[in-house]
Structure 1
């Protein structure tokens, strides 16, 4: 004779070792879905899972009522926020009614903004003639001249030092250093 499976009622009432864990899980899932048992998870990992099973109908009713009350209070809070938003929207719309005068003012504003943009472009074109920019460029040129003179002096000193130490000619040292013959002929007096 083949073994027949346990009925649902037999699985619920059987309380001895040897019950297959999967069948227990299935029965508990059914009980939870039928709202005959409440299932709470505490923790995040399966290894530290704590479960609370409640089968008392009074506790079930109390918990369901608490959930209902919480949902109702959240609903009321959202309705209040919606009402506040509608009031704020109406207040913001005051003075913004679509009238002929408002359309005329908006067109005037657009025209002024376009004029402002074109004047900014024109002003940017005159930036090269700006006295402040001219002074900044002049100072930058003076700094560049001073730096070029300092480097010219430093290279001359280096070539002289190497010439005295090695006895090679100045042209040979310049070739080895990659310095051209006319490197110090820059006219920086302008």
Structure 2
């Protein structure tokens, strides 16, 4: 059996932000190291690094009160930070594409009636560099779009709807099992085994 795949660094950041948005409270690091593993599946040893990376990105606020350090986060600020970051990245991407277009045009001009030259080699190297920058910027844009608070809120609503649906089908199973037991005098354990129903089946 293959080992269970670990949670990625970006997924840990997303789950940590969800924890702050759901609790709407202030926390010390020790409190987060207890809450995060239990509620979001983030191992305690990585909590400090995850929180610090979010603080560095301006998504989590922190302040020292007396000898204690507290952390908190609000969706409105996170949305503003990501929106500003997206704008900056899109501006850089626009400039990168502009330079890329100019470089490609220069390459076309350089090929006309010319052999390989130092200028042409430099242009090709610059083109490769710009293409790599474009790729990195596109990845950054996708990362911040995926962590938008509005997207997280939508995910929470979908989870709620999924739980309601699961409980509705669980209720249906219990009703059918009850009818079969009364109608045919069959033990519940026999029904479970016959239809592959877990003995631990319960509402979510």
Question: What is the TM-score when the length of structure 2 is the normalising length?
Answer: 0.35
Q: Which has the higher contact order (CA 8 A, sep 6+)?
A: 2
Larger-Rg structure: 1
Normalising by structure 1, we get a TM-score of: 0.37
